[in-house]
């Protein structure tokens, strides 16, 4: 069980989740692994290895990129890559390096002007899921984040509908910035994941399911609605 979207105070200025607090939170909610998705600076190898040794958890460090087509999490991209602002350029680099791209919270703040994909469009709420799914960003990514704790239920449902329309893989991540948010939305893999390469392999193979943790601590599987 992996939280695929976690920010810490190391590389995300808007997070107050320190590595030590993350070290406490992850096992408390039953996680087997974490994907650290900093906004700015990924963890270095030494910090990552130290966290792994102290926690016993699978952990990898990647980045949530801010692009002209919204926020995109990229797994397996060379940590030396910097200064990318266009989604198509990020896509080109990801393909060259065998990386995996996840469109994060595509319908956050939808249908207001604050939505990164449709905020400038007149009356986006009138569009069907199939029409929304025609946005070019969906062609660039490998998967869509359809469960995000920082999104409303309606925003997550729209992401789920778009993923179904497109036949795209769907993933879950908490978008945690605080201790209490860790493990709220998780991706549950059928096989043990021990490296970032194995994580990407399992994602491409589709050997996983999604779940959301209730206040009671129970993990409730996501069941997609019938189109």
Q: Where are the domains of the chain?
A: 2-221
Count Cα neighbours of 74 within 13 Å in the Cβ-side half-sphere. Answer: 31
Q: Would you state the CATH architecture of domain 2-221?
A: Alpha-Beta Barrel (3.20)
Phi-psi map region of 153: left, alpha, beta (phi>0 left; psi -120 to 50 alpha): alpha
pLDDT tens-digit profile, the chain (227 residues):
999 999 999 999 999 999 999 999 999 999 999 999 999 889 999 999 999 999 999 999 999 999 999 999 999 998 787 889 999 999 999 999 999 999 999 999 999 999 989 988 888 888 999 999 999 999 999 999 999 999 999 999 999 999 999 999 999 999 999 999 999 999 999 999 999 999 999 999 999 999 999 988 899 999 886 55
Q: Read off the tokens for 109.
A: 């703040």
């Amino acid at each position: 069980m992996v939280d695929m979207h976690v920010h810490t105070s190391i590389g995300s200025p808007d997070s107050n989740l320190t590595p030590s607090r993350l070290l406490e939170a992850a096992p408390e909610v039953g996680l087997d692994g974490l994907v650290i998705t900093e906004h700015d600076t990924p963890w270095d190898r030494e910090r990552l290895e130290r966290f792994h040794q102290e926690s016993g958890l699978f952990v990898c460090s990647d980045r949530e990129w801010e692009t002209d087509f919204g926020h995109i999490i990229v797994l397996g991209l060379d940590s030396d890559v910097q200064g990318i602002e266009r989604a198509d350029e990020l896509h080109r680099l990801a393909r060259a390096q065998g990386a995996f791209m996840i469109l994060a919270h595509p319908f956050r703040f939808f249908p207001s002007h604050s939505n990164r994909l449709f905020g400038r469009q007149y009356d986006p709420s009138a569009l069907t899921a199939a029409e929304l799914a025609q946005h070019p960003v969906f062609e660039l990514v490998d998967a869509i984040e359809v469960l995000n704790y920082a999104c409303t239920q309606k925003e997550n449902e729209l992401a789920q509908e778009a993923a179904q329309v497109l036949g795209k893989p769907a993933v879950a991540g908490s978008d945690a910035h605080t201790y209490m948010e860790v493990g709220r939305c998780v991706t549950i893999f059928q096989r043990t994941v021990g490296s970032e390469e194995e994580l990407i392999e399992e994602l491409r193979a589709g050997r996983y399911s999604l779940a959301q943790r209730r206040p009671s601590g129970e993990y409730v599987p996501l069941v997609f609605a019938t189109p």
